[in-house]
Amino acid sequence: MKVLILGGKGQLGRSLAATAPINAEIVSHDVDTLDVTDPVAVRAVTRDVRPDLIFNAAAYTAVDKAESDEAAAYAVNATAVGNLAAAAHDVGARFTHVSTDFVFDGLSGLPYSPDAPTAPLSVYGRTKLAGEVLAGEDALIVRTAWVYALTGGNFVRSMLRLMSERPEVRVVADQFGTPTYAPGLAAALWTLSINGFTGVHHYTDAGACSWYDFAVAIQEEALGAGLLNDDVPVIPINTSDYPTAARRPHFSVLDKTSTFAALGGPTPHWRANLRTLIAEIKTNG
């Protein structure tokens, strides 16, 4: 089975390669080797590789910067998805595209099902939603949230750095979602893709929390593992206390019921996966 991974150097791209089935022959590209916004280049690569499966883990994820750079965000999050979907169809490959909880406005108060009405608040959310449309009806589209891994820039790494440098950290406490451990997401993408699932699905770790709750848990786990020496105050703040260019949903917990059924059971709780990552960091740095 030949597999093409786009966004191969990112957290999810690396995790997809690391969790690949033994019979998968991986070809990985990132922005330095393939411009996914160029349809000619995309089609040339897919015709050369002739993959059975294409994973799109490439995305414009600078949420605040996208507010003043909409053309670039749309090119990567939407136009490129259409390019990849067309190229997949051209070579008869299955196409799996990763999307986001930011397609919702966060006003529901209940977990969002895959068929819930979308209403993105930001350029990032709107361009990701446009990408879902351009992926096409035959694609597998998996929305996720708050992704983190051993490598790459993510909230866990940022908190560990700030907690080691500052006398206190201030974290938003009125935005709720669910952290997602990238290797777990990658394994789910492999299972759903290989088994031929299509349409929109939701995947995160189990449970829900605020960014503040997540930060507190990071510090507790890191102190227990000896990664941090000092228990610094973690101060909860409101979104209004930390203004950003892009509006973010206050509640973007995703309903994973149908996905868990497809996978044969629920994922680990986010706190358990956080503990796994902290152990990895202690071992690997």
For residue 103 the two structure tokens come to: 């397609």
Does the structure show a pLDDT above 80 at 20? yes
Per-residue confidence (pLDDT) for residue 23, from 0 to 100: 95
Quickly state the pLDDT bin for 116 (edges 50, 70, 90).
very high
CA distance 110 to 95: 30
Does the structure show a pLDDT above 90 at 109? no
Q: Which amino acid is at 243?
A: P
CA distance 197 to 96: 9
Q: Which residues are catalytic?
A: 124
Q: Are 13 and 30 in contact (CB under 8 A)?
A: yes
Does the structure show a pLDDT above 90 at 269? yes
Per-residue confidence (pLDDT) for residue 152, from 0 to 100: 84
Residue labelled with tokens 């791209």? 13
- Say whether 54 sits in a helix, a strand or coil: strand
For residue 81 the two structure tokens come to: 């998805």
152-200 pLDDT, tens per residue? 889 999 999 999 999 999 999 999 999 999 999 999 999 999 999 999 9
Q: Write down how long the chain is.
A: 285
Helix axis angle, 155-165 relative to 211-225, nearest 10°? 70
CA distance 253 to 258: 14
Architecture of domain 2-149+181-205+254-263: 3-Layer(aba) Sandwich (3.40)
- Closest by CA to 250, choosing from 130, 108, 125, is 108
Quickly state the pLDDT bin for 275 (edges 50, 70, 90).
very high
94 CB contacts (<8 Å, ≥6 apart)? Answer: 52, 53, 54, 88, 140, 193, 196
- Say whether 175 sits in a helix, a strand or coil: coil
CA distance 16 to 187: 7
131-146 pLDDT, tens per residue? 999 999 999 999 999 9
For residue 77 the two structure tokens come to: 């999050």
Q: Where are the alpha helices (DSSP H) in the chain?
A: 11-18, 39-49, 70-74, 80-91, 123-135, 155-165, 182-194, 211-225, 257-263, 270-284
Residues paired with 71 in a beta bridge: none
Quickly state the pLDDT bin for 39 (edges 50, 70, 90).
very high
Residue 221's CB: how many other CB atoms inside 10 A? Answer: 21
- Closest by CA to 235, choosing from 272, 210, 262, 267, is 210
Average pLDDT, the chain: 96
Per-residue confidence (pLDDT) for residue 244, from 0 to 100: 93
Sign of CA dihedral 274, 276, 279, 285: negative
Stretch 223-247: mean pLDDT, rounded?
A: 94
User: How do the domains of the chain map onto residue ranges?
Assistant: 2-149+181-205+254-263
- What Å distances lie between residue 267 and 56, 133, 231, 241, 252, CA to CA? 22, 27, 30, 33, 18
Residue labelled with tokens 């009125």? 174
Q: Are 228 and 164 in contact (CB under 8 A)?
A: yes
